[in-house]
Structure 1
Amino acid sequence: MTASASEAAPPQRLTFDSEDIASDERFEAYHALYRGGTDVSPTSDTFRARVEAQRMGQLVMVERHLNGAQHERTLQRVRTDGFEHFTLQLVLSGRLLVETPDQFITVTPGQAIVFDLSRPQRTRAENAHYLTFSVAREMVEAATLHAFALHGTVLAAEAGLLADLMVSLVRRRAGDDPRQTAAGMQMFEEALALALGRTPVSHDSRDALSQARLVVEKLLARRDLDPDMIARHANLSRTTLYELFRPYGGVSRYVQMRRTARLRALLGRVESRTSSIAELSYQVGFAAESHAARLYKAQYGETPGQRRQGSAPLPRGIETNSGFDPWIRALYR
């Protein structure tokens, strides 16, 4: 395994080829790349992996040739590592067999699948050549108002431009040239928004949405927060506000989702362990713990109590800075 960077700065590229490693050590070496974020297991005797990863701005881009391996994020893993970013996986050849809590999917060449890493998943590669882009959550939420519903979504024809761009960024090694990073990031953000189905909006509308979101974040703890208050503080009409948040099913639904997301973050913090779940629920604006628990389970598939029980450090033997995991964790800074 090699990384092309000086010792004085974090490496921006990393390569791995199982053929360069002794046969009895190949899978364990591959497994070590992913110990910080996924459980990897062999699925056949014909394991083969070639990986090239690079970092470009807020993106971690990985090209992978993989057979005979399965990646899984169990509910326990989701609870413990706290990852909440997204990955976009584009299949170039072969296939990925995917399982989420809601469905089984086969992803074939030309298709891309979106994963929310705050949700469980299992992916099995069969002679697959595919690209994986790790994307900060805020970038996805800026591209679409229904980020919460994307987990397991397969993009085909609508991802054509995005797929072409992903291939180009990887092939051109755009992360190696700082001059290309800003332009590459801008193009990716625009292509992502188009692929996720959001109609491009004017800069005025984009600014209005950003302002409304800022108001929600600032006033989220107020239990009397409602559309009238948000519209007033954001200097928007109720009609405009409702139109901006229509993809969520309404302003109130968006507020509820932000409250459950903030509750989840608090439950994972060591300094919050002395506060009861009821107290934390009130802190994020819920009027009752039972209401918070019901919405939390609907969004994350577990209760707040289960989240708290699973928020301990990773088990011993799990190396959280192995492979390119530090790049992933940098998405949260």
Structure 2
Amino acid sequence: MSEIFAFDSTAFEPDVAFARYCDLYARGADIERTNAPFFARVRSWRLDRTILFAREYGGICHRRRERVESDGFDHFTLNHVVAGELFAGPDGKAMSIKPGESLLIDTSEPAETGADHVVLITVSLARDSVRAAVGDVEGLHGYLIGASEGGLLGAMLRALVEQMPHLPFVAHAAVTRTLIDLLSVAINPYGSGARSEFYRLEHVRYESVRRLIEANVGAPDFSIQDITNATGISRAGLYRLFESCGGVNRFIQMCRLQQLRDRLDNRAFDAMSLAELAPRLGFSDESHASRLFKQAFGITPGAYRAASIRGTQDPAVDLMACRWNSTLSELQ
């Protein structure tokens, strides 16, 4: 399933709602209340190494300060304001972001975002995706994209929020590629340089290999040699492409774990035990799958499935946070 979570503060008493919102965002930011009344409505979807949020909130400020040194975040967020006013930027240097404007935030740097009342669309993008769009990512923390420069990008984001509930999984990679292209146009309206083109080609190579891996992830004997035979990319080239992921073998392992998590979230697979699912996704056995799943996501497959089933009827903040946290790890 592509939806990660949905949260609406009106479902709770005010103090409880704020506490749950803080729990939901506990890994990503410290939340402070402002003088304005607190409210928050959030929907989120997982795309291809991209997370999309449709948000409306007020009376709060999100801050990333000391946690920047310890949480390991290394991606960018793009905040596009639809209505209201967002105050955001590097920590201590927040600026006013008006409707139609967008702001890039580097999560490896201290930052703050807040509002009395704002409607916005936020996209979390892997660092290599932003690099593919603009080449050099230095100086992008707090980069403001004007309404005219980012017009096409903003139009796509607004349309995407409307279409996400109906968007087939097979379209996710194409959507992410289009976002990268439109981000490039918004930041470099007169064309990108050679560095950007180099990273874009590297990104295309990476995506080609990734799709090949995902198509064959259920084959337990699928190997690096199969990838080099199919793509013509050398082992050294593959290592360079997937170095940030811990290598190709680690990436294959994470693809299997992500597909297992998706099936545990999908009620159509509830009749299948872990012992049945594991070999279909390339794991040697149930024990192997369970051990790796716990290492990656901090919860056993059985406990995750049980929480997911409960969440179908009564969405719990701990399950929402688990889904979000595990998805955030895919951006690093």
TM range (shorter): 0.5 to 0.7
Match of 1:196 among 162, 172, 187: 187
Contact 2:81-2:102 at 8 Å conserved across structures = yes
Residue in 1 that maps onto 2:123: 133
Aligned equivalents of 1:208, 1:152: Cα separation in 2: 22
Q: SS at 1:25's partner residue?
A: helix
Asked whether 1:150 is paired with 2:169, we answer: no
Residue in 2 that maps onto 1:327: 327
Aligned equivalents of 2:84, 2:78: Cα separation in 1: 17
Q: SS at 1:41's partner residue?
A: strand
Q: CA deviation at 1:33?
A: 1.3
Q: SS at 1:98's partner residue?
A: strand
Larger helix proportion of the pair: 2
Q: SS at 2:28's partner residue?
A: coil
Contact 1:114-1:150 at 8 Å conserved across structures = yes
Point out where structure 2 has 5 or more consecutive residues left out of the alignment.
206-242, 247-317
Going from structure 1 to structure 2, the CA distance change for 1:180 and 1:174 (only over 3 Å counts) comes to farther
Paired residues in the alignment total 218
Percent identity for Structure 1 against Structure 2:
28
Q: CA deviation at 1:59?
A: 1.0
Match of 2:56 among 65, 77, 82: 65
Aligned equivalents of 2:190, 2:179: Cα separation in 1: 16
Q: CA deviation at 1:72?
A: 0.4
Runs of 4+ in 1 over 2 A off after TM superposition: 101-104, 198-211, 319-323
The 5 A counterparts of 1:270-281 are none
Aligned equivalents of 2:100, 2:324: Cα separation in 1: 26
Q: CA deviation at 1:26?
A: 0.7
Q: SS at 1:149's partner residue?
A: coil
Asked whether 1:24 is paired with 2:15, we answer: yes
| TM-score, normalised with respect to structure 2 | 0.60
Point out where structure 1 has 5 or more consecutive residues left out of the alignment.
6-10, 215-261, 266-318
Q: Aligned letter for 1:329?
A: S
Q: CA deviation at 1:13?
A: 3.3
Contact 1:93-1:108 at 8 Å conserved across structures = yes
Aligned equivalents of 1:21, 1:93: Cα separation in 2: 25
Match of 1:168 among 159, 167, 180: 159
Aligned equivalents of 2:138, 2:111: Cα separation in 1: 15
Aligned equivalents of 1:89, 1:158: Cα separation in 2: 15
The 5 A counterparts of 1:1-333 are 5=1, 12-44=3-35, 46-74=37-65, 76-101=66-91, 103-156=93-146, 157-173=148-164, 176-197=167-188, 199-200=190-191, 206=197, 322=322, 324-332=324-332
Contact 2:132-2:196 at 8 Å conserved across structures = no
1:51-94 CA-partner distances (Å, limit 9, x unpaired): 011111111000111010100000x1100101110000001111
Contact 1:113-1:153 at 8 Å conserved across structures = yes
1:278-318 CA-partner distances (Å, limit 9, x unpaired): xxxxxxxxxxxxxxxxxxxxxxxxxxxxxxxxxxxxxxxxx
Contact 1:57-1:175 at 8 Å conserved across structures = no
Aligned equivalents of 2:190, 2:92: Cα separation in 1: 27
RMSD: 3.0
